[in-house]
Amino acid sequence: MTQQIGVVPVGEVPALVLKVIAANITACYRCPAVVLPKRPVPESAFDDRRNQYDAGIIIEQLGAWNFPACSKIVGITSLDIFIPIFNYAYGYAVQGGDLSMISLFRLNRNADGSLPPPSLFYERTAKVALHELGHLFSLFHCHETQCIMHFSGAITDLDQIPFYLCPDCERRLTP
C-alpha cells in the first residue's frame, strides 16, 4: 500500500489522540498517515431530537473539503455521533469509500461509568480508527474475535479485540 491517510480533527480533538491514531494507522496498514488541520463541525449535523451529531452529515461535509494529498480520510470528533440504525456509534465509514468518522465521546467511559486509564482510552481510539479504515479498504466485519474488523457493539467488546487484522483479512488487503 502506498496511499497516504489523512487524520482530520473535526472540532476540538486532543493533539495526542491524533498522533496516536496516525501512528497506529502507519503501523497496522503500513501506509503513511498525516494529521491535517482542524475543520469545523458542520452545524447541520446536530440533531436536536437526539442531542447528537449525524455521522453521515459530517462525512458528507468531509467529502466537500479538499484533501488532495490523501487517498483516505479518517475524521475524528469529540462529539457524540449516531447513524440512524443505532443509538450511537463509535465510528462510521462508507464501505470501500474514502471517508470515515470516529467519535471519542463514548470511548472515555468504562461499561460501569468509571473513567479508564489514559492508555486504555488511546487504545480504544486507535482500534476504532483502524476498524473504520478497514471498511474504507473494503473489509467487512469479521467473525474472528482476534481481528480488528470484529464488530464491537459495546465498549467491553472493543477492549477485547486486538490491534491487528486476522490472517484472512490481512490476505484480503493484499492485491
* Positions marked active-site: 132
Give the integer Cα–Cα distance in Å for 99 and 132. 9
Half-sphere exposure of 85 (CA within 13 A, CB side): 2
Phi (first) and psi of residue 19, to 5 degrees: -65, -40
Those residues with Cβ within 8 angstroms of residue 7's Cβ, 6 or more apart along the chain or in another chain: 18, 21, 22, 25, 33, 34, 35, 36, 74, 76, 129
Give the integer Cα–Cα distance in Å for 43 and 61. 10
Taking the CA atoms of residue 62, residue 66, residue 72 and residue 75 in that order, the dihedral angle to the nearest 10 degrees is: -30
